[in-house]
Amino acid sequence: MNPVLHFLYAVLDGLLGLLVLAIIISALLSWLVAFDVINLRNRFVYNVAHFLDAVTRPILAPVQRIIPPLGGVDITPIIVLLVIQAFRNYILPMMLTLG
């Protein structure tokens, strides 16, 4: 097996895992802000929320244009997470075996 492909597989899988974590934390943080559990006036919370928004917005925005919120609930993070997990579980291993 090609060690470069294994390295690229590991890096891409790790980056996708970090993206999944960022999407989950961003969604939880938005709920905590919406229910006034935490406040964006706190500088640390604001910085974390701003960073997570900058990381997840390019991924979520195209899906949000296609799928509107249902009853005020944004389900695009769930859809994006399902697509990422399907890519990690099926497409990435298939690419590794083809190379």
Query: pTM here?
Result: 0.91
What would the mean pLDDT of 20-43 be, rounded to a whole number?
95
**Residues 23, 59: contact at Cβ < 8 Å?**
yes
Calpha distance 60→39 (Å, rounded) = 23
Mean pLDDT of the chain: 94
pLDDT band at 29 (very low <50, low <70, confident <90, very high): very high
- Say how many domains are in the chain: 1
Domain that holds residue 38: 3-98
pLDDT at 1: 65
pLDDT at 64: 94
Residues 49-81: b if buried by 16+ CB within 10 A, e if exposed? beebeebbeebbeeebeeeeeeeeebebbeebe
Calpha distance 33→46 (Å, rounded) = 10
Task: Give per-residue pLDDT as tens, 66-82.
Answer: 998 888 889 999 999 99
